[in-house]
C-alpha cells in the first residue's frame, strides 16, 4: 500500500502499537467515532482491560488506581470530555500519577456542530492549566513519532500528558447518513 | 444505627493484606482512626473518584481484595462509577458507603440519601451481585467475610449516626501516600 494512504487509514494502529510497546494494560474510554478503530483494537486484545465509562472524569480515577496497582493505563476521549475531568486532574498532580490521554478534537476543522467549538477551543489550555504536557498531531504520518514521544514521557517521567489528535486528521464527520 | 468509627474498626478487623481506598473527608479520618496502615490510599480531594480508583486498582491486582470506604456525598458525586463497575464486574472489589445522610465536612447539610435516595437499590440496579445495607454491629462480621472472600462487586451501605467526631488526620501529601502504598504492595 502507498505509505501515505496507509498512514491516513491506520494511524490508530500506530497508537495501538505504542500502547502495546509500553505494556498498557487498561484503557478507559467513552464511545467516540474518531477513536472507533483504536477502541476496537484494544477490546480485541486480551491483555488490555477495556473500561467503558459513563463520563470521562471516571477515567482519571481509573488510571490512578491502575498505577497504584502497578499497571499502566491510558484514556481515550473527545475534546468535549476534557472539561468534565478538571477537578479530577488534581489527583494526578498531587500524587504524581502518570496519565496518557489521547484526545480526538472537535470544534475546529470542518466542524458541523457549533456546540463543540467552545470546549474544543480551550482544550489545550485546559490541559496546560491542569498540569499536563500537550502534544498535537494533524498529519497521519506524524502520529507514530508524536504519540511515541508522548507515551515515553508520560510513563518514564510519571507525568500527565495529552495528545490532541486534530480534527483534520480524523476527517469530516458525515452527517447525511 | 451504627457508630461510624465502630463500623470501620469492625470492617477492617484482621484486615490482612486488604487494599483500602478512602473517600475524602470523614471516611479518610475514620480509616486513619483505626490504624495507620501502608495499604491505605487516603483521598483528600478529587471528590467522586474513590470508586473508580478502586476499580483501576482491582483490575491491576486481580488476586488481591480491594475495599473502597467512602461517604454518601462522595458516592453521590460519582454515581456513574457504579454503572461502570457493574459493566466490568470485578470480583475482588467492594464499595462500602458510610451513610450518615449529611455532608459533615461543610456543616452537616442534608445529602440526597436523607431524602430517601437509596444507594443500595442503585447498586443493585447497576448489577452488583452482592448488596448489603447494615445498621447493627452484629451484621458487620458477615460483610467483613464477604469483602475478603465473597464474589464481587460487593456494595455495602452502613447506616450510621450523623455526628461530627474529632478528626484523625493522616498525611495530606499525595506523593507520600502513593509511594507508601506502592512500596507495601510489592
Chunked mean pLDDT (size 10), chain B, 186 residues = 97 97 97 96 98 98 98 98 98 98 95 98 98 97 97 97 94 97 96
Ordered domains of chain B (ranges, CATH) = 4-185 (3.40.50.970)
Q: How far apart are CA B17 and CA B184, in angstroms?
A: 9
User: Rounded to 5 degrees, what angle do the CA atoms A161, A140, A26 make?
Assistant: 40
pLDDT of residue B136: 97
**Stretch A108-123: mean pLDDT, rounded?**
91
Q: Does B56 touch chain A if contact means CB atoms closer than 8 Å?
A: yes
Consecutive H or E run containing A51? strand A49-52
* pLDDT bracket for residue A110 (50, 70, 90): confident
DSSP string computed for B115-127: GT--HHHHHHHTT
pLDDT of residue B100: 98
CB atoms A95 and B57 under 8 Å: no
CB environment B18-34: b (16+ within 10 A), e (fewer):
bbbbbbbbbbbbbbbbb
Decide: B131 and B153 in contact? Cβ < 8 Å.
Answer: no
Q: Does B174 touch chain A if contact means CB atoms closer than 8 Å?
A: yes
pLDDT higher than threshold 70 for residue A7: no
CB atoms B84 and A64 under 8 Å: no
Distance from CA of A156 to the nearest CA of B (A): 16
Kindly list the residues from chain B whose CB atom is less than 8 angstroms away from the CB atom of residue A66: 56-57, 59-60
Single pTM value for the model: 0.96
CB atoms A73 and B181 under 8 Å: no
Strands B130-134 and B154-159: parallel
Mutate to test the interface with B, among A26, A42, A65, A95 (most CBs of B within 10 A): A65
Ordered domains of chain A (ranges, CATH) = 3-170 (3.40.50.970)
Instruction: Dump pLDDT digits (tens) for A51-100.
Output: 999 999 999 999 999 999 999 999 999 999 999 999 999 999 999 999 99
* pLDDT bracket for residue A3 (50, 70, 90): low
CB atoms A95 and B174 under 8 Å: yes
User: Rounded to 5 degrees, what angle do the CA atoms B90, B55, B130 make?
Assistant: 45
pLDDT of residue B186: 86
Q: Listing from the earlier edge strand, what are the strands of the sheet with A99-104?
A: A49-52, A24-29, A72-78, A99-104, A160-165, A133-137
Amino acid at each position: 500500500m502507498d505509505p501515505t494512504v496507509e498512514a491516513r487509514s491506520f494511524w490508530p494502529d500506530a497508537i495501538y502499537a505504542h500502547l502495546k510497546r509500553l505494556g498498557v494494560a487498561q484503557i478507559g474510554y467513552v464511545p467516540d467515532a474518531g477513536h472507533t478503530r483504536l477502541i476496537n483494537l484494544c477490546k480485541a486484545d486480551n491483555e488490555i482491560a477495556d473500561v467503558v465509562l459513563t463520563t470521562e472524569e471516571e477515567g482519571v480515577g481509573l488510571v490512578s488506581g491502575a498505577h497504584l496497582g502497578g499497571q499502566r493505563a491510558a484514556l481515550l476521549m473527545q475534546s468535549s470530555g476534557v472539561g468534565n475531568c478538571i477537578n479530577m486532574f488534581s489527583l494526578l498532580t498531587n500524587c504524581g500519577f502518570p496519565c496518557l490521554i489521547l484526545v480526538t478534537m472537535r470544534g475546529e476543522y470542518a466542524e458541523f456542530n457549533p456546540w463543540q467549538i467552545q470546549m474544543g477551543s480551550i482544550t489545550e489550555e485546559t490541559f496546560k492549566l491542569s498540569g499536563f504536557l500537550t502534544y498535537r498531531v494533524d498529519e497521519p504520518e506524524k502520529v507514530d513519532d508524536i504519540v511515541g514521544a508522548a507515551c515515553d514521557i508520560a510513563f518514564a517521567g510519571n507525568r500527565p500528558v495529552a495528545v490532541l489528535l486534530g480534527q483534520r486528521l480524523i476527517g469530516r464527520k458525515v452527517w447525511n447518513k | 444505627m451504627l457508630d461510624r468509627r465502630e463500623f470501620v474498626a469492625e470492617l477492617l478487623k484482621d484486615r490482612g493484606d486488604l487494599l483500602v481506598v478512602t473517600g475524602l473527608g470523614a471516611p479518610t479520618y475514620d480509616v486513619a482512626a483505626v490504624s495507620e496502615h501502608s495499604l491505605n490510599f487516603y483521598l483528600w480531594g478529587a471528590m467522586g473518584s474513590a470508586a473508580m480508583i478502586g476499580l483501576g486498582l482491582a483490575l491491576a491486582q486481580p488476586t488481591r481484595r480491594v475495599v473502597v470506604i467512602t461517604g454518601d456525598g462522595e458516592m453521590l458525586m460519582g454515581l456513574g462509577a457504579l454503572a461502570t463497575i457493574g459493566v466490568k464486574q470485578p470480583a475482588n472489589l467492594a464499595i462500602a458507603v458510610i451513610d450518615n445522610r449529611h455532608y459533615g465536612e461543610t456543616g452537616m447539610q442534608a445529602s440526597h440519601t436523607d431524602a430517601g435516595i437509596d444507594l443500595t437499590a442503585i447498586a443493585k440496579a447497576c448489577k452488583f451481585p452482592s448488596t448489603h445495607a447494615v445498621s447493627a454491629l452484629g451484621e458487620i462480621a458477615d460483610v467483613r467475610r464477604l469483602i475478603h472472600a465473597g464474589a464481587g462487586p460487593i456494595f455495602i451501605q452502613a447506616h450510621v449516626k450523623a455526628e461530627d467526631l474529632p478528626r484523625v488526620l493522616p498525611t495530606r501529601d499525595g506523593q507520600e501516600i502513593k509511594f507508601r502504598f506502592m512500596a507495601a504492595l510489592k
